[in-house]
Amino acid sequence: MDKPKVVLGVSGGIAAYKACELLRRFTESGHGVRVVPTASALHFVGAATWSALSGNPVATEVWDDVHQVPHVRIGQHADLVVVAPATADMLAKAAHGLADDLLTNTLLTARCPVVFAPAMHTEMWEHPATQDNVATLRRRGAVVIEPAVGRLTGVDTGKGRLPDPAEIFEVCRRVLARGVTEPDLRGRHVVVSAGGTREPLDPVRFLGNRSSGKQGYALARTAAARGARVTLVSANAGLPDPAGVDVVRVGTAVQLREAVLKAAADADAVVMAAAVADFRPAVYATGKIKKRDGQDPDPIVLVRNPDILAEISADRARPGQVVVGFAAETDDVLANGRAKLARKGCDLLVVNEVGEARTFGSEENEAVVLGADGSETPVPHGPKEALADTVWDLVVRRLA
C-alpha cells in the first residue's frame, strides 16, 4: 500500500518550530510529507530544515517548478492537509478562499480531510473576525483544533497556545484512519469524564481505583477528531492533554459531579467513562492518621457518594441529550450490565470485563455497548480508540 501523503502547511507563528516535531512524527510513522510553509513561516524556521526533515522540496510560492503545476497537484494528491500552526491570517485566508501563495492554493485544491491547529495570542483568537472564520471552516467540514491554554510568546499566558505536537499528530492519525468522512460531531459539545476518583482519608492517603483514564482520553481525542467541542473532566489521570480539548481536573467524586453537571448544561452528549468511587470515608482526618502502639486501627466508615450517572440521566440538562455510562464488571458481565442500564436510565452502557491485569491501564479494550432500546453492539478486542469511535457512532445516530 502507498504511504499516506500528508501536506504539512506551516504559517508564520512563533510555534512554527513545534511543527518540526509534528513532521518527524509523520515521517517516522511511514507517512510521506510535503511541507508547504508560508513566506512568513520561513522567518521562524528556514526552508532547509523543512526540506531536510521531509526529504522533499520546499516552496512557498506557486512560481517554482511551474511545469509540475504544484499549486494544483499538491492538494489533489494529498490524503490529509494539516496546517500547524495556523495563524489568524491563514484562517482568514482559508475561510475566504484566498489563493495568493502555494499553501492557500493547496487548501483550495485539496479534497481530503483538512485539519487546522491555530496558535496565536488570546486577543487574536477571541476576536470575532477569527471566531467567524473558524466557524466558517468548521461548517465546511474542516477540523479546527481548539488551541491550548498556557504560556504564549513572551510573558503572556492564556488560550492560544499550539497543542502538544504529539497530540496534534494523534488527531491527524484519527482523521486519516477514518478517511474522508464528515466530521459528524461538528457543532456538538460533548462532555467526557475519565480517570478514577480518589477519596481522601487524611492528607496523605486516599481510597482509589485502578482506572488509568486511557479509555476516557481516547473518547475525548476521537470526539475532537470528529469535530466536537470537548470538555474532558479528568480525575487523577496523569496523561497529556489531548489536542483541542478543554480539560477540567478534579480529584474526588463530589468534585467530578460538580464539574460534569456544569459542563453538561449545554452538552449534546455526556459520556461517563471515569471510575467514580461509590463510597467515600465518612470522616476526613485533617492530620495524618498515626499508628498507635498495641492498638488496632479504627475501622474506616464509608458513606455513599452521589450517583452522577443516574442523576444526569434522570435530569437531562437539554432535551435530546445523550447519556452514556460505563460498567466495569468482574463477573456475570452482560446480566449485570443490563440491570445497571435499567437502574441508571442512561441511553447507552459500555460494559466491559475488568480485572487487575485486564482493561485497566491497557491500550486495548473489548466491550459490548448495550442500548436502552434493547440493542447490543459487540466491540471486538482492539485499541481503546476503536471502542471510542463505536460509542460516538452510536451517539451520533441518537443525536440525529
Q: Is residue 350 helix, strand or coil?
A: strand
- Residue of 105, 133, 209, 365 with catalytic role: 209
- Is there binding between residue 165 and ligand FMN (CB under 6 A)? no
Pairwise CA distance, residues 176 & 32, whole Å: 13
DSSP 44-112: HS-HHHHHHHHTS---SSTTTTGGG-HHHHHHHT-SEEEEEEEPHHHHHHHHHT--SSHHHHHHHH--S
Q: Which of 23, 33, 81, 119 binds ligand FMN (CB under 6 A)?
A: 119
Q: Which of 8, 19, 33, 41 binds ligand FMN (CB under 6 A)?
A: 41
Please confirm, yes or no, whether 209 is among the known catalytic residues: yes
Q: Which of 6, 7, 22, 38 binds ligand FMN (CB under 6 A)?
A: 38
Pairwise CA distance, residues 80 & 99, whole Å: 19
The C-alpha cell of 104 is what?
A: 492557500
For residue 159, the minimal CB distance to ligand FMN (Å) is 12
Pairwise CA distance, residues 170 & 55, whole Å: 22
Q: Which of 120, 269, 350, 370 binds ligand FMN (CB under 6 A)?
A: 120
Part of the chain binding ligand FMN (CB under 6 A), chosen from 17-25, 69-77, 119-127, 276-284 = 119-127
- Is there binding between residue 395 and ligand FMN (CB under 6 A)? no
Residues 6+ apart with CB under 8 A from 379: 365, 366, 367, 368, 369, 386, 387, 390
User: What mask, x for binding ligand FMN by CB under 6 A, covers residues 123 to 162?
Assistant: -x----------------------------x---------
- Is there binding between residue 40 and ligand FMN (CB under 6 A)? yes
Omega prior to 57 cis, within 30 of 0: no
Pairwise CA distance, residues 12 & 104, whole Å: 13
For residue 97, the minimal CB distance to ligand FMN (Å) is 15
For residue 180, the minimal CB distance to ligand FMN (Å) is 26
Measuring CA to CA, how many Å separate 126 from each of 88, 91, 156, 233, 382?
10, 13, 15, 23, 39
The C-alpha cell of 3 is what?
A: 504511504
User: What mask, x for binding ligand FMN by CB under 6 A, covers residues 58 to 97?
Assistant: -----------------------------xxxx-------
Q: How many residues contact ligand FMN, by CB under 6 A?
A: 16
What residue has cell string 460494559? 351
Q: Give the residue with the Cβ less far from ligand FMN, 110 or 271.
A: 110
- Is there binding between residue 107 and ligand FMN (CB under 6 A)? no
Q: Is residue 226 helix, strand or coil?
A: coil
For residue 87, the minimal CB distance to ligand FMN (Å) is 3
State the amino acid at position 40 in one-letter form: S
Q: Give the residue with the Cβ less far from ligand FMN, 133 or 197.
A: 133
Q: Give the residue with the Cβ less far from ligand FMN, 123 or 393.
A: 123
Tell me the catalytic residues.
209
Q: Which residues bind ligand FMN (CB under 6 A)?
A: 11-15, 38, 40-41, 87-90, 119-120, 124, 153
